[in-house]
Amino acid sequence: MRSLLTRNETLVALIILAFCAMTAAVDPRFLSVTTLTDLIRNGIVIGMFAIGVMLVLVSGGIDVSFTAVAAFSMYSATKLMVAWGVGDQMLVAFLVSALLGLTLGLVNAVFIGWLGLPTLIVTLGTLTAFRGFLLTFVGSQLITNVPPGMRAFSRSMLFRGTTADGAFFALPTAVLFLVGAVLVTWFILNRTMLGRSIVAMGGSREAAARVGVNVRAIQFFVYGYVGVLSGLAGIVHASLARVANPFDLVGLELSVIAAVVLGGARLTGGHGTITGTLLGVALIVLINNSLIMLGIPSTWQNVVIGFLILLGTGVPAWQARRRAAAAA
């Protein structure tokens, strides 16, 4: 019972409940199906990013280039749909964006897995490089008249309706991409030798290599997988927004990493859960959408998120220090 109360997942869940209670006290309309579906919609893209970042952290690395990968893939796929005359073929958009994401993810993997460079330095560099290449050679103009397939996808809903007081609510089909990312990643981590190898490598790369784990191959898989998720998240974002903006998404890195760290993933590697990550995403989305309801200026969002990152990293470190002191 004591360990349950001190787990990151439990602490984040309690903070979420507190935020919901405070917001509902200020505005009772917050506790409605309309708010719930809006929060889920706002969490789709950041959730897909967070699942990928969680896998990277579990492997013992870190990736901050995923937003640039998403923007590059999304914008390029949209332009290619128009150029090829396949604007109504949404499957093409998903495949092209995922393939571009995979390619850019493997660029990271080459520097990290093959050349052995530090993950943070590499992904900081590729964040700037991918974004610069996009704006210089691919395009920097907003595509407001997106292909009809993207518009149709944005209007596709799992369900929709109207509340008793006339408020409209709907849950977009795009949420299935987040569900798919969650299920596939959970299966990889918990039901495959690949997942066990990722966790082992995050715990100790040298020890994992000694027991036969192909560290380089695992790194290529992890960064390629994150690239695919980022590419899909990018095209989903552009479709829901109905605009392909090359300046979008870059800047979300802090919120995504905050969500993953709050969910219990450790920057030192070897630990992270799907449940914790989703709770972290829920908290970040809740903060971004409820501060105004509480009368707090939106400029305080980064302050709150920064504080939560300190909380998410500080509490586990404090607990580890206590356990070490008790064992001594």
Q: Where are the domains of the chain?
A: 1-26+252-295+302-319, 47-250
Give the phi and the psi of residue 117 in degrees, each rounded to 5: -80, 155
pLDDT of residue 316: 67
d(CA 75, CA 177) in angstroms, rounded, equals: 19
pTM value is 0.93
Cα–Cα distance list, 203 to 61, 193, 198, 209, 266 (Å): 11, 15, 9, 11, 10
Residues of the chain with pLDDT under 50: 1-2, 5
pLDDT, residue 2, reads: 42
**Pairwise CA distance, residues 295 & 290, whole Å:** 9
Instruction: Output b/e per residue, 31-43; b: 16+ Cβ within 10 A.
Output: ebebbebbbbbbb
> What integer pLDDT is reported at residue 328 of this predicted model?
65
pLDDT tens track for 133-172: 999 999 889 999 999 999 999 999 998 998 878 788 899 9
**What pLDDT, on a 0 to 100 scale, did the predictor assign at position 277?**
95
pLDDT at res. 151? 94
What is the sign, positive or negative, of the torsion defined by CA atoms of 35, 4, 57, 98? negative
CA–CA distance, 42 with 24 (Å, rounded to integer): 19
Q: What are phi and psi of 295, to 5 degrees?
A: 80, 15
